[in-house]
Amino acid sequence: MPVTQAREIAPAVRLEKVRYAIRDLASVADEVAKQGHKILPLNIGDPITFDFQTPPHLIEAVYQAMRDGKNGYAPSSGVNEALLAIRGEAARKGITTVQDVFITTGVSETVDICLTALLNPGDNLLTPCPDYPLYSAVLAKLDIGLNAYYLNEEDGWQPDLEDIKRKITPRTRGIVLINPNNPTGSVATRKMLEQIAELARRHNLVIFADEIYDKLIIDDDPHVAMAAVAPDVPVITFGGLSKNYLAPGWRIGWGIASGEASGIKPYLEGVNKLLRSRLCANHPEQYAIKVALEGPQDHLLEVKRKLRSRRDLTMEWCAETPRVSCVAPRGAFYAYPSLDIPEGDDVFVTELIRQKYVMVVHGSGFGQRPGTKHFRIVFLPDEKTLTSAYSAIGDFLRERYR
């Protein structure tokens, strides 16, 4: 009889660099919940967890698609009516040089495919600091080192243009711009977009414009699309149903590729090769795209009303709470307060969960300028929940840092 020997199967070494702070705190929260405490969650940007609902006409469109038999594989790039609707949305955003449109399993897959199609070993990609952890996770998976540029807290979290210039190398292939920004809630100015576009022209960079929150500008300021500012530059604009249309669990995202045709064509051939290799995105949910983009937008008025009230409540608390200061967010549903404390912000958030049962995310989990400490608040919960959470955080600050 053959002898078998159990051997440990080690994961790839590059995975040691993969971090996802938003969900990595779950084990601490689970430990506290098992003790019978109810967690106040200010950590996950999922509107459906709170008092927001997916618009009914989107649900009806998906239900009808299923009833109509749209349950097999879809074309790799997406169903035609959805692709046409996204092109119409691109036109409304002022994007005039669209070369391709494709639908993915959430923007997470858009990011993964687009970065994989671009980057070779030894290349680098400029990503914002602080950033949404998906980008650093994908780069770690590709074994690509981080090349992070700072957002300037003193300038309303606008990209630090001089820092970007310093960090462009001969192996830099592109730059990521999250606008509106997660985790800071900042919105880039047109002037800033124009300056970044000029750097991209000069250094032959692809711009990855993550605009998943573009309809959630809290004070109704206009959102300026990067691709509209730079029609000649290769830009991949990321969008989807998750945030603007309150359907994060459907995992429907898309990419809009624009720029001068001959320059971007070889890269798009690589993108489409990867799209084909993974077959397709969720089929029936794609039939919500047309009704979302071309149908009633009434839900956005109520969403922004709630976000404005909850943002203002958050800023009032930050202003009156010692050891906390915050740049007012202008888009999305995140605030990124600065902390004046003698220990790490990772310790702060962990002990806050254990002692006050409030869950926020440490700033170091998003990357931040050395010597600074922050935490990210998701201000999606109702005012009563936020008030209770902020009272508990305030008590924690007073008790721990007398």
Q: To which residue do tokens 């070779």 refer?
A: 120
Q: Clarify whether residues 141 and 288 are in a common domain.
A: yes
pLDDT band at 2 (very low <50, low <70, confident <90, very high): low
Among the residues of 119-251, which ranges form H helices?
A: 133-141, 161-167, 190-203, 226-229
Report the mean per-residue pLDDT for the chain: 94
pLDDT above 80 for 186: yes
The predicted pLDDT at position 221 comes to 84
Judged by average pLDDT, the poorest of 35-39, 230-234, 290-294 is 35-39
pLDDT above 70 for 21: no
Backbone φ and ψ for 219, nearest 5 degrees, come out as -100, 20
Q: Clarify whether residues 213 and 311 are in a common domain.
A: no
Q: Clarify whether residues 283 and 317 are in a common domain.
A: no
Judged by average pLDDT, the poorest of 30-44, 58-72, 357-371 is 30-44
pLDDT tens column, 132-165: 999 999 999 999 988 999 999 999 999 999 999 9
DSSP lists the bridge partners of residue 193 as none
Backbone φ and ψ for 164, nearest 5 degrees, come out as -60, -45
Q: CA torsion sign, 354 to 360 to 364 to 365?
A: positive
Q: Clarify whether residues 224 and 371 are in a common domain.
A: no
Q: Identify the CA nearest to 358 among candidates 385, 332, 338, 333.
A: 385
Report the domain count for the chain. Answer: 2
Cα 292 to its chain centre, rounded Å, is: 20
Residue 7 lies in a domain: no
pLDDT above 80 for 22: no
Q: Clarify whether residues 22 and 49 are in a common domain.
A: yes
Once rounded to an integer, what is the mean pLDDT over residues 292-307? 97
Residue 90 lies in a domain: yes
Q: Clarify whether residues 222 and 108 are in a common domain.
A: yes
The predicted pLDDT at position 85 comes to 98
Q: Clarify whether residues 118 and 246 are in a common domain.
A: yes
d(CA 112, CA 136): 11
Domain termination residue (choose one: 294, 324, 359): 294
Domain termination residue (choose one: 254, 269, 294): 294
Where in the sequence is the domain holding 26, given as residue range(s)?
13-53+298-400
Cβ–Cβ < 8 Å for 25, 41: no
Q: Clarify whether residues 65 and 119 are in a common domain.
A: yes
SS3 category, 138 = helix
Among the residues of 278-331, which ranges form H helices?
A: 287-294, 298-320
pLDDT tens column, 98-140: 999 999 999 999 999 999 999 999 999 999 999 999 999 999 9
d(CA 275, CA 269): 10
pTM over 0.85: yes
pLDDT above 70 for 1: no
pLDDT band at 30 (very low <50, low <70, confident <90, very high): confident
Cβ–Cβ < 8 Å for 254, 102: yes
Domain termination residue (choose one: 245, 260, 294): 294
pLDDT tens column, 227-279: 999 999 999 999 999 999 999 999 999 999 999 999 999 999 999 999 999 99
Cis peptide bond upstream of 56, omega within 30: no
d(CA 338, CA 343): 13
pLDDT band at 19 (very low <50, low <70, confident <90, very high): low
DSSP codes of every residue in 204-230 = TPEEEEE-TTTT-BTT-PPPPPHHHH-
